[in-house]
Chain A
Amino acid sequence: MLSEEDYKSDAEIQWCPGCPNFGILQAFRKAFAELEKRPRDLCLISGIGQAAKLPHYVRCNAFSGLHGRALPVALGVHVTNPQLTTIVVTGDGDCYGEGGNHFLHALRRNPDITVVVHNNEIYALTKGRASPTTPQGEKRTLQIRGVDISPLNMPALAIVHGCTFVARGFAGEVDHLKDILVQAIRHKGLSYVDVIQPCITWGTHPVNWYKERVYPLGEDYDSADQRAALDTAMAAGDKTPIGILYQGSTRSLFAHRFRKEVTERPLNMLAPPAVEKIDGILSEFRAGGASKDGPDPGHRGR
């Protein structure tokens, strides 16, 4: 039986004391224990930011890459070994700003990974600039007159593009978040969790301000209704629902065709083709062998 303790690493935690990131970290460790995941089977991938430090604070395999580029790395990891539990730990700047294009295309691909976004509406690591989710009008260290453009609504975007697991959590409700993470990791396909994570050092509102404004979606909420989920995600107003906004029926998973037609095995277990096979293909290029196309057709310029 694994417990939270089994997921503690020896790295010194570099977050402000009292940071709600500690809540997310706790939720992760509890979720892993409940799922009985072995550390060796976990691979947490991040970009750059305060959120991105989290993989180092969990006993697991970890890859902290470039700002905004956690998703493509995760895709490479996941396709190579689908048996690993691959989780992207990212932030609103890392995932929706620098890495926005990769998030968009992950929605198309539907890889069986989990993406958890620490959404603090700010660039905290670099001391307080606006992020793609900062509400219009709020001031930040660069946006001294107030942000003048509207924020992104990524949960709505995800639902529109057919993501089959879209959830919102709150770092101040650890057990509620833990339940979401457990379901997200179990879900087959891309599971996306946007976590409201107040920044107590650079942010505009204290944690209690958020506590008063979130409410958990109740038993009567139908998370299988995609249109209703979109309405929920787009609803304006003071209160923000937390929980699983949408959980849909399975779409085909990324790389399913390769897995079905070529091999189920992890790519790191495949042996290279023998010389005879290579020579066999080369012989097709001999005069009188199978005819080949000329130089690659199409692709004129870019």
Chain B
Amino acid sequence: MTGNEAIPLAAARAGCSFMAAYPMTPSTGIITFLSKEQERLGVFTEQAEDEIAAINMAIGASYCGARAMTATSGGGFALMVEGLSLAGMTETPVVIVLAQRPGPATGLPTRTAQGDLLFAISAGHGEFPKLVLAPADAKDAFHQTVRAFNLADKYQVPVVISTDQFLADAHFSVGDFETDKASPHFHLADPSLIEDYGRYRITREGVSPRLYPGQSEHLVCVDSDEHDEKGHITENLAGTAKRMLEKQMAKDKGLKKEVRPPEESGLGDAETVLIGWGSSRGAVLEAVDLLKEDGKRAGMIHFTELWPLPEYSFPKGKSYWTLESNQSGQLARLLRSE
């Protein structure tokens, strides 16, 4: 099974019922799969006129209570970035698959790369919480996709699932997907428990009770401008705007507790440690084996959850190298700076 087959199947499992996308190699297989399986999986799919439409359609569907996603590659993601910011500001859950290929611009459309890590993590003007996951293989992609929808819903944030052409198109052998361990968990509020509804009611953890239009007599008002608890535009900088910013930062704290630490392999007596992320897990493990054959004491650390960066201390006294398919060592830069 390829990554582009595991991800849409998992999305359906997670309760996704809407996908809009503009075709872009190597992500197109995801919407194609859902479109073909429309009768069995019940997901509405639409080829958007451009990537800006795709992300905004997904946000509209999500605002209206459906779990929604889109998928693209670097250039398309670039067009979606304002939409990402919209999801952040309006606190609308949305899942975006970024299937990397070499850039910049049109780049090498049919090849693989891991060159958009820092772009994905920092994408979206303004400051807002987001989650960036980077599955290692088809089975991991399945589980991470279900997780992505659950966390997007729980924290009301955009979630980027970063894959690449290799993960998208390669055929992985999986013994048991353990699908029963990947279950959807829904976090919408109960309208009967709410008296006077404001979409952005301030809470200690930063997550407001979320309702959707048409669900009940409560009206849901949302704005891309800075807004008050009722969702109306505000220019009250010292009061309302500051409280809304603190609310978003509180959500960030919650997300930080959810991210899992990287996987460790053979660190115990290793002198040399190779660090990888995303789909390179197999290759890094193989490199560790080759080093061991050469008589070196080697181990691996592998990240599949990149943002917020998980809390992790690197054991001292070892030599650390990142192994990644990009020119400037983006994971290394990220680890050094955080």
Instruction: Give me the interface of A with B, judged by CB distance under 8 Å.
Output: 10-11, 14, 39-41, 43, 45, 48, 53, 55-56, 59-66, 69, 71-77, 79-81, 83-84, 101-102, 104-105, 255, 258, 261-263, 266-268, 270-273, 275, 277-279, 281-282, 285, 292, 295-296, 299-302
CA distance A81 to B18 in the complex (A): 12
Is A102 touching B49 in the complex (CB atoms < 8 A)? yes
Q: Which residue of B lies closest to A271 (CB)?
A: B15
Is B225 touching A75 in the complex (CB atoms < 8 A)? no
Instruction: Give me the interface of B with A, judged by CB distance under 8 Å.
Output: 1-2, 4-5, 9, 12-15, 17-18, 20, 23-26, 28-29, 32, 37-42, 44, 46, 48-50, 52-54, 56-66, 68, 73, 75-76, 82-83, 86, 90, 106, 109-110, 168-169, 177, 179-180, 184, 212-225, 230-233
Is A296 touching B213 in the complex (CB atoms < 8 A)? no
CA distance A73 to B53 in the complex (A): 8
Is B169 touching A295 in the complex (CB atoms < 8 A)? yes
Residue in B32, B61, B231 whose Cβ sees the most chain A Cβ within 10 Å: B61
- Rounded to whole Å, the gap between the CB of B144 and the closest CB of chain A is 15
Q: Give me 27 A-to-B residue pairs in the complex whose CB atoms sit less than 8 angstroms apart, sorted by A's number.
A: A40-B213, A40-B214, A40-B219, A60-B219, A63-B60, A64-B222, A72-B54, A73-B60, A75-B53, A76-B59, A76-B64, A80-B18, A80-B61, A105-B49, A261-B38, A266-B65, A266-B66, A272-B13, A272-B184, A278-B13, A281-B37, A295-B169, A296-B4, A296-B169, A299-B23, A301-B25, A302-B106
- Rounded to whole Å, the gap between the CB of B121 and the closest CB of chain A is 22
Q: Which of A41, A53, A258, A292 contacts B214 (CB 8 A)?
A: A41
CA distance A261 to B64 in the complex (A): 22
CA distance A84 to B65 in the complex (A): 13
A69: B residues at CB distance < 8 A: 52-53, 56, 83, 86
CA distance A64 to B89 in the complex (A): 11
- Rounded to whole Å, the gap between the CB of A56 and the closest CB of chain B is 5
Beyond A60-B219, A102-B49, is A65–B224 a contact (Cβ under 8 Å)?
A: yes
B54: A residues at CB distance < 8 A: 72
Is B12 touching A62 in the complex (CB atoms < 8 A)? no
Q: Which residue of A lies closest to B4 (CB)?
A: A296
B38: A residues at CB distance < 8 A: 258, 261-262
CA distance A266 to B54 in the complex (A): 20
Beyond A101-B49, A300-B25, is A56–B233 a contact (Cβ under 8 Å)?
A: yes
A83: B residues at CB distance < 8 A: 214
B61: A residues at CB distance < 8 A: 76-77, 79-80, 267
Beyond A56-B232, A105-B53, A273-B13, is A268–B64 a contact (Cβ under 8 Å)?
A: yes
B13: A residues at CB distance < 8 A: 272-273, 275, 278
Beyond A81-B213, A278-B12, is A295–B29 a contact (Cβ under 8 Å)?
A: yes
